[in-house]
Structure formats: C-alpha cells, structure tokens
Amino acid sequence: MRKVAVVGVGHSKFMFNSPKTGVEMLSEVAMDALNEANLTPKDVQAVFLGNVLGDFTEGQGMMQSFFANDIGCFNVPATRFEGACASGSMAVRDAFMWVASGFYDIVLVGGVEKATAMDTPLATRTFAMFGDSRYEYPAGFTFPGAFALLAHLYSSEYGIPLERLTEQMAAVSVQSHYYGMKNPNAQFHKEISVADVLKSPMVTTPIKLLDACPFTDGAAAIVIASEEVAKRLTDKPVYFAGVGQTSSGKLSSQSKHLPRIRARELAAEQAYKMAGLTPKDIDVCELHDCFSIAALIAAEGLGFFEPGTAGEAWERGETRLEGKIPINMSGGLKAKGHPIGATGVSQVTEITRQLRGELGEQGRQVDGAKVGLVDTLGGDGVIVNMILSTK
C-alpha cells in the first residue's frame, strides 16, 4: 500500500448556535483545506463525511451529497460515516484506505455537527441512541451515567477514594481550559480552577458540570493525497503512519475489563503495530475527553500511563506543553468543544498543525513534534486511533 498524507486542513470556530447550516459550515472549511493545498474542488476524486445528527437537527440526511455539490465537487462518490462521536475519524480512516490502495490520489474528508440545535435534555436523550437501545437506554443509561459508572469503577479498582479522584478529574478540565484559551477556534475561552470544577453543579455523581464537554456546532475538513501527489502540493506533508478501529458493542460486553476500554487498547495496538511505533514515540496527542474521567482512561489505554496513574500525571503537569506527553493542546473536547461528527477531523487537523510546527504563535506548539496520535471514542466503545508522522 502507498504512503498517504494530509496536505490541507480547515477548521471552523467551534461555538453554540452557529447561524450557518451544516452544508455551509462544511463548505467553508473544505475550501480552506483545498486552498491550503493549492487545489480546487475539481481535483477532488471522492468525498468522505462524518456526521451524526444532520437528520435530527437540520432535517438533512446524506449531507455529504449536498456538501459535495455545494462546493462544486460534481458527481464524485460522496459517503457518510456514522459511528457516533467517532464518525469523523471513521471517515478519515476510510478515506486513507481509498488513497493507500491506489484507487484515488486526492480525496476530501469533512466532519460537521450542529449539536446545539437541541436543548440539553433532548440532546442527552438523543445521544443515548448511541448506547444499546435494547439494554442500556431503556434502563436510564445515558452517557453521563455511563462515565459516572466508569469513574466509580476506576475509584474502586485502583483504590483512589472518590474525593481524591474528583480532584484528579478536575485537573484534566483545568488544563483543557488553559490551552483552550490559546486556541482561537475553541468554544470556551475562560480559565477555570480545580475549585471551580469541584463547586460546579453535580451532573451524575461523581461527574460535575465542569467535568463534561459541551455540545457544539462546528466543522473541520482535511485533504488527503498519495505521497507522490503530496510532495508536489506541500513541503510539509503529514503522513498516516498507522490506523486502528474497533467496536465494543454494549458496555457490559467488556465488563471484565472495565474501567479499561478493551476496544481502545486493541485499536491502539493496531495503529502502533502498523506504524512500528510505541507510546514512547508519540510527541503529541489529541484524545477523547468527553468527560474528564474519559481522558484518564484514554491516556492509560493508549499506553502513556499505567492504569490508575493518569490523574496524578495530569496533576504533575506531565500532559502539559512541556510535559512528558502533551495531551489536548487544542483544549480538547472540554474547551475546544465537541461537534460530534466533526471531532475526529478536528483532532487530525490539530495534530497536522502540530507536526507542521504552526502553533508557536498561539503559544501551544509542542517543540519539534514529529509524531502525533489521534484518539476518538464513539458511543459505546467505538474507537478510532490514528498515528500521524512527518516521515
């Protein structure tokens, strides 16, 4: 298979209540990504889209087709991917394969969501569709509840009293808001303290409001090309070194592993093996911190820390810009925002910019970053991991 690179990226401001339609948001970021790669829509051979709720929030199914048409990608194959919050990454991984296989040379991947069109109770109920509709949602098992359960299991499994764990969890949110301040596209630009998190309203014990990422409207897009084409288009291609994807199904199917997410550990293993790399080789990481407890579990599952130790690592600053493994220098889902279908594409955009060394002016560039990891979690244990590299 051929080497494949990201050659252009585009990223909208993440926000509440965007006045634009999903297609409009996508078209803007796609044109940015194409312009960056010195390409036009006529050069695009196929379009891939991550989108979850377009039908619910805008009455627009198969948005990929109208998006492609809107920017003048006429009569190309355009495909929508849905794997809940991992939809965007799923689209990227699939697009990678179509280029790696030699079938296409240049493809466009977008991700978009208008998740704030629903109020929080309706959104929470709607999101619960990405749990098991037979065994989980009918039992009242929504995602805040699922991650609260994981927090309790984490506390008991690793002998960390709940009061102590909530402090560790707070450190995740505090760091995310700190770097979110530096990201002009982030939804929140507000520094918070551990005390702020701990005194914020309880959502589901022990998860407080400031442990949870927001609902968000936003879009991101990337252009992917074969190595040969990439070298003609940019002097800073960022290559896909490894990809992995898994689906766990309902959470109870992993009960003997919880609070570890077995699906993630297997997806990460696929990506590391394909790249011939280990966690030590990763210079920068964007991972799926939909709740602060999710960030701890993710960082451990990806091999950066031993199980039960990630919270301390966050508190010690090991995940900061100058730390052992800088995590979520974008502000993460917590502060950058989480427009579901766009999140994976946004993460790839962030890592691409880090590996190109473009974020110095924003004060969040990891010095000399050459290898980055993307981690996205969708619903009940859909995981996509991707390793990007300057080589």
Figure out which of the listed residues 12, 18, 60, 187 binds a second copy, where binding follows CB under 8 A: 60
Comparing CA positions, the residue from 146, 150, 122 lying closest to residue 136 is: 146
Q: Is 73 a catalytic residue?
A: no
**Burial class (CB within 10 angstroms; exposed 0-12, middle 13-18, buried 19+) of 232:** exposed
Element (H, E) at 66: helix 63-71
SS3 86: coil
Question: Does 84 participate in binding a second copy (rule CB under 8 A)?
Answer: yes
Question: Does 137 participate in binding a second copy (rule CB under 8 A)?
Answer: yes
- Measured from the CB atom, the residue of 147 and 314 that comes closer to a second copy is 147
Of the candidate spans 130-138, 183-191, 205-213, 360-368, the one that interacts with a second copy by CB under 8 A turns out to be 130-138
Question: Does 81 participate in binding a second copy (rule CB under 8 A)?
Answer: yes
The number of residues that bind a second copy (CB under 8 A) is 60
Site for a second copy in 229-248 (CB under 8 A): 245-248
Using CA atoms in the order 330, 355, 221, 42, what is the torsion angle rounded to 10 degrees? Answer: 160
Chain centre to alpha carbon of residue 66: 24
Question: Does 381 participate in binding a second copy (rule CB under 8 A)?
Answer: yes
Name the active-site residue from 85, 213, 285, 290: 85
Question: Does 113 participate in binding a second copy (rule CB under 8 A)?
Answer: no
Q: Are 321 and 369 in contact (CB under 8 A)?
A: no
d(C-alpha 70, C-alpha 112), whole Å: 15
Q: Is 213 a catalytic residue?
A: no
Question: Does 350 participate in binding a second copy (rule CB under 8 A)?
Answer: no
- Measured from the CB atom, the residue of 181 and 348 that comes closer to a second copy is 348
The DSSP string of 266-316 is HHHHHHHHHHT--GGG--EEE---SBHHHHHHHHHHTTSS-TT-HHHHHHH
Q: What residues make contact with a second copy under the rule CB under 8 A?
A: 1, 21, 23, 47, 52, 55-56, 58-62, 64-66, 68-70, 74-84, 90, 94, 97-98, 100-103, 128-130, 132-134, 137, 245-250, 253, 262-263, 266-267, 378-382
